[in-house]
Amino acid sequence: MTVNDLIEKLDLEVLNLAEGDREITGGYVGDLLSWVMGKAESGDMWVTIMTNVNVVAVASLVDVACVVIADKAEITPDVIEKARAQGINLLRSAKSAYRLCNEQILL
């Protein structure tokens, strides 16, 4: 499944789309950045409610396929700008992390 598929099927809000064709090969949920760096894998859909600018750096270093902000957590324009600059797929939804994962796994 690609990031484009995910956006369409889960009806996600697109904050930045850098590489819609990127294949999603797994997933990880977490807000503590060291845990994400220790456990998430390249190609994952990373679901989080963290929205500060460090999320973009972690997403880049871990090489996740996309970041999905759950629960429509508030995000500032500078973070979206950073995602654009670093080529990170940044998406958002009003759904909870639980529901997002449930829906993704059923695709």
H or E segment and range at residue 67: strand 66-69
Contact present, 22 and 100 (Cβ < 8 Å): no
Taking the complex as a whole, how short is the minimal distance between the CB of residue 98 and another protein, in angstroms? 19
Radius of gyration of the chain measured on its C-alpha atoms: 12
Q: Is 26 in the site for another protein (CB under 8 A)?
A: no
Number of residues that bind another protein (CB under 8 A): 21
* Beta-carbon contacts of residue 42 (< 8 Å; ≥ 6 apart): 25, 62, 63, 64
Which of 1, 23, 25, 54 touches another protein (CB under 8 A)?
54
Taking the complex as a whole, how short is the minimal distance between the CB of residue 37 and another protein, in angstroms? 5
The residue ranges that bind another protein (CB under 8 A) are 31-35, 37-38, 42, 50, 52-55, 57-58, 60-63, 78, 86
